[in-house]
Amino acid sequence: MSETTDRIASIERDALAALAAAEDDAAIEAWRTRVLGRSGELTGVLRGIGGLDADERKVVGAEANRVKGILEAALDERREALRRAALASTEADALDVTLPGRPLRRGRLHPITQVRRRILDVFERLGFQVIEGPEVELDAYNFGALRIPEHHPARDMWDTFWFDEEVQGPDGNERAPLLLRTHTSPMQVRFMQEHEPPIRVAVPGKCYRYEATDATHEWMLEQVELLAIDEGISMANLKGTLQEWARQMFGPSRKVMLRNSYFPFVEPGVEVAVDCFQCPGDDPSCPVCRGSGWLELMGAGMVHPEIIAAQGYDPERYTGFAAGMGVERVAMVLLGVSDIRDFHANDPRFLAQF
């Protein structure tokens, strides 16, 4: 090794160490000028090559150019590393960890679900067991077993969505018409067929009616059906149960009215209404009561003895009451909503209120 190649090796060693210690653009530029610049250390060696003898010139020339290549590559690499580090620290500065977090929008239960659960909570406390039944129902249960035969005018009370298909009915009949249940009352019969008294059940579920909508009517509604069958059940039990339910739901100041009504599957039948929450009770333009002062919540009555007998129970021994209430109507009263259509319009601004 010649003195010059020693010098090149020492330039390479010192320069690489100095480059690694250069922490900013100014230090790098100073390094470049000192090592590779026009009067730089390595440039000086390259310039001196001409004064060497031919053999040494060849060796020193090759070595100096190899080291020059290494130092230039190291310079590029160091510049890139510093650029990346600067970028990362800018991004870190852009993230202000002291800013308050974005609030998470919390999900919630649909108001109808909330109200259905409240209704059922009260009935469960009053001793009713919650059961469910099919939304796609046979004509035989929705109407026939409830003393509403084909062509009976009472069918007009429930405008119905029918299926095109007919299926095998409970009596083996191959052509049993199928529908979307118009009320939860068919579950009275289904449950009685499979159980013995005493019976106390509450049946929540969706129902469907082929009818025009307005502020108190939807084509899809939820009902909760009640059925109590036992020895000695009277109209007083029906009234007491519904009044206690209404007191627990709405508080003691809400007025509850029972008035005569007709349903083929009860005798006698009643309709249960509460006083209007929207107007003083005499405003004909009120969307809730239309000036009547009352909003109907349910139909109810004493289960018709023929229906009790048809399930094989002794109607002399067993009596019962039943009721079917509209969950959306109850929700209107509880939440002060004057248009039932708001519940299923899916406007998050409306839903977020509850």
Catalytic residues, which ones?
158, 183, 209, 223, 266, 322
Q: Which one, of 165, 177, 188, lies nearest residue 137 by Cα?
A: 177
Q: Which one, of 264, 265, 155, lies nearest residue 210 by Cα?
A: 155
Q: Does 329 bind ligand YSA (CB under 6 A)?
A: yes
**Among residues 229, 297, 331, 334, which is the contact residue for ligand YSA, using CB under 6 A?**
297
Which of helix, strand or coil describes residue 113? helix
C-beta of 230: minimal distance to ligand YSA in Å? 15
Of residues 38-97, those binding ligand YSA (CB under 6 A): none
Q: What is the DSSP code (8-state) at residue 156?
A: G
The alpha-helical segments, DSSP class H, found in 143-202 are 186-194
**Among residues 121, 196, 211, 244, which is the contact residue for ligand YSA, using CB under 6 A?**
211
Q: Which residue is nearest to ligand YSA (CB)?
A: 326
Q: Does 239 bind ligand YSA (CB under 6 A)?
A: no
Among 2-10, 64-72, 98-106, 258-266, the segment contacting ligand YSA (CB under 6 A): 258-266
**Among residues 133, 324, 337, 342, which is the contact residue for ligand YSA, using CB under 6 A?**
324
C-beta of 101: minimal distance to ligand YSA in Å? 42
8 A C-beta contact, residue 134 and residue 181: yes
Peptide bond into 100 cis (omega under 30): no
C-beta of 154: minimal distance to ligand YSA in Å? 10
Among 91-99, 163-171, 307-315, 320-328, the segment contacting ligand YSA (CB under 6 A): 320-328
Q: Does 263 bind ligand YSA (CB under 6 A)?
A: yes
Among 95-103, 122-130, 135-143, 260-268, the segment contacting ligand YSA (CB under 6 A): 260-268
Tell me how many residues contact ligand YSA (CB under 6 A).
Answer: 27
Beta bridge partners of 199: 229
Q: Does 300 bind ligand YSA (CB under 6 A)?
A: yes
8 A C-beta contact, residue 225 and residue 324: yes
DSSP string covering 191-210: HHHH-PSSEEEEEEEEEE--
How buried is residue 172: exposed, middle or buried, by Cβ count under 10 Å (0-12/13-18/19+)? exposed
**Among residues 328, 331, 332, 333, which is the contact residue for ligand YSA, using CB under 6 A?**
328
Q: Does 137 bind ligand YSA (CB under 6 A)?
A: no
> Other CB atoms closer than 10 Å to residue 293's CB: what's the count?
18
Among 61-69, 213-221, 252-260, 307-315, the segment contacting ligand YSA (CB under 6 A): 213-221
**Among residues 145, 187, 266, 286, which is the contact residue for ligand YSA, using CB under 6 A?**
266
Q: Which one, of 222, 239, 206, lies nearest residue 332 by Cα?
A: 222
CA distance 48 to 44: 6
Q: Residue 354 has which token pair? A: 């509850």
Q: Does 133 bind ligand YSA (CB under 6 A)?
A: no
Q: Does 319 bind ligand YSA (CB under 6 A)?
A: no
Q: What are phi and psi of 225, to 5 degrees?
A: -95, 145
Q: What are phi and psi of 177, to 5 degrees?
A: -65, 145
Of residues 148-207, those binding ligand YSA (CB under 6 A): 157, 183, 185
Among 27-35, 126-134, 281-289, 318-326, the segment contacting ligand YSA (CB under 6 A): 318-326
Kind plus residue range of the DSSP H or E element containing 117:
helix 111-125
